[in-house]
Structure 1
Amino acid sequence: MFSPPLALASLSGEADADWARAGSDHAGAAFLGGIALDENARAAARELVARDRTEFLPPDPVRFVDRQVAALDDVPIRPAFNVRSVTPEPIVEAARVCRDHDAFLEINAHCRQDELCAVGCGESLLRDADRLRAYVKRAADTGATVGVKVRAEVPGVDLPDLARTIETAGAAFVHVDAMDTESVIADVVDATDLFVIANNGVRDDETVREYADYGADAVSVGRPSDNPVVLDRVREAVDRHLDTGPGLEARLQ
């Protein structure tokens, strides 16, 4: 799916093409965004900005996705875009853009801010498997490579079962914020054939080794993704503990 199996994870209002370019010497993929696509999601994002959170709020969000991934056409990194929407149509539009640039589309079922959950974005999708399944299917039907960013430790949510649901809908990968339950990675790996990206606390050899031992196909770095010292350290650990050679390519066929 991408090599080396190290990704830069989206940082709201910060993860753009320049950020991805800066990390391209270390990582095989960069998840830009998140971006609010439809009006309800954008209204929630404006509320977040009003309380001092950074958000991408361009006039035309789908065009913004297009420009950002196009800016990475000459960069040796696989771009991806993390998207939020209450309605499926803008997700389909963004999926087509990602498909045309050989980029991944990542549906955000992860953000837990009250404003986003109140309108039906982010973590609320973990509790609405039918709607999430429909989003994944419609996006995957465009021919785009589609995945979902999810969060562990959400009460009432069986993450391995949800992973099976999105896999049957056409997802190719799942990006798991393990929170403080790193072993959930093994549960998801055992439940599906999805490409599993482990996220949360990836900083050094110990954390990469732990996720590798649980069966992760790749890891991602969030907050320190703009810190070359951390990225150097994590990349060295990835080269030691995760398959970066022919075995990885065979895994992804």
Structure 2
Amino acid sequence: MFSPPLALASLSGEADADWARTGSEYAGAAFLGGIALDEDSRAAARDLVARDRNEFLPDDPVAFIDRQLAALEDVPVQPAFNVRSATPDPIPDAAQVCRDRAAFLEINAHCRQDELCAVGCGETLLRDADRLRAYVERAAETGATVGVKVRAEVPGADLPTLSRELEAAGASFVHIDAMDTESVVRDVVDATELFVIANNGVRNGATVREYVDYGADAVSVGRPSDNPVVLERVRDAVERQFGLEKTPS
């Protein structure tokens, strides 16, 4: 799906085209965003900004996605955009832009901030499989490559079962924040044919090896994604674990 199988994970208010360009020396993919699409999610994002969190709040979120992806046309990285919405209605418009820009669309079922959960965004979707499946179906109908960012350890959420349903709805990948339950990666790998990206604590060879041993197809780096020392270390570990090291001539 991308090579090297190392992704830069979205960081709200920080993961833009410049960030992706800088990290492209190390990673095969970059997940921009997250970006709030509808009025309820945008209101929640404004509340987050009011308590000193970084958020992208452009006047036109879909146009923002298009501009950011256009800025990466000459960058050797697979772009993706992480999106939030309290309803599925804006999802197809964002998906169409991603399709036209050869980018992945990632539906955010991950964020746990109270403001976002109160309007039905983020991890609340993990407990509402029917609604999340509708998001995926409507995005996939556009022809975009669609995936979901999920979180382990959410009460009432069964990630392997949910992942099977998302695959049936048209998802191509799942991006798992494993929290402290790294073995959930193996459970999802065993349950589906989805491309599985493992996230949380990826900093060195040991963490990369653990996720690869659980069957992950790729790993992602979150908060240190702007740290070249960490990225170089993780990239080297990914190349070793996936057998991508160059053979001396």
Q: What's the TM-score once normalised by structure 1's chain length?
A: 0.96
Q: Amino acid of the residue matched to residue 238 of structure 1?
A: V
Secondary structure at the aligned position of 1:89 is classed as coil
1:205 and 1:64 map into 2 onto residues whose CA distance is 36
State the identity as a percent: 81
2:72 maps to what in 1?
72
2:175 and 2:244 map into 1 onto residues whose CA distance is 18
1:148 maps to what in 2?
148
- Report if aligned partners of 1:218, 1:242 keep a CA contact under 8 Å in 2: no
Pick closer, same or farther for the CA change 1:222–1:99 going to 2, 3 Å: same
Pairwise mapping of residues 49-198 of structure 1 onto structure 2 (< 5 A)? 49-198=49-198
How many aligned positions are there?
245
1:140 and 1:187 map into 2 onto residues whose CA distance is 24
Q: Amino acid of the residue matched to residue 27 of structure 2?
A: A
2:208 maps to what in 1?
208
1:64 and 1:33 map into 2 onto residues whose CA distance is 10
Residue 243 of structure 1 and its aligned partner are, at CA, apart by: 5.1
Residue 244 of structure 1 and its aligned partner are, at CA, apart by: 4.4
> Which ranges in structure 2 are unaligned for 5 or more consecutive residues?
none
Q: Amino acid of the residue matched to residue 197 of structure 1?
A: I
Residue 154 of structure 1 and its aligned partner are, at CA, apart by: 0.6
1:226 and 1:8 map into 2 onto residues whose CA distance is 9
1:240 and 1:63 map into 2 onto residues whose CA distance is 39
Q: Amino acid of the residue matched to residue 236 of structure 2?
A: E
- Report if aligned partners of 1:5, 1:244 keep a CA contact under 8 Å in 2: no
**What per-residue deviation string (whole Å, max 9, x for no partner) do you get for residues 193-213 of structure 1?**
000000000000000000000
Q: What's the TM-score once normalised by structure 2's chain length?
A: 0.97
**What per-residue deviation string (whole Å, max 9, x for no partner) do you get for residues 178-202 of structure 1?**
0000000000000000000000000
1:122 and 1:69 map into 2 onto residues whose CA distance is 23
Q: Amino acid of the residue matched to residue 47 of structure 1?
A: D
1:144 and 1:126 map into 2 onto residues whose CA distance is 22
- Runs of 4+ in structure 1 deviating by more than 3 angstroms, as ranges, are none
Pairwise mapping of residues 229-244 of structure 1 onto structure 2 (< 5 A)? 229-242=229-242, 244=244
1:243 and 1:139 map into 2 onto residues whose CA distance is 34
Secondary structure at the aligned position of 2:196 is classed as strand
> Which ranges in structure 1 are unaligned for 5 or more consecutive residues?
246-253
Residue 242 of structure 1 and its aligned partner are, at CA, apart by: 2.3
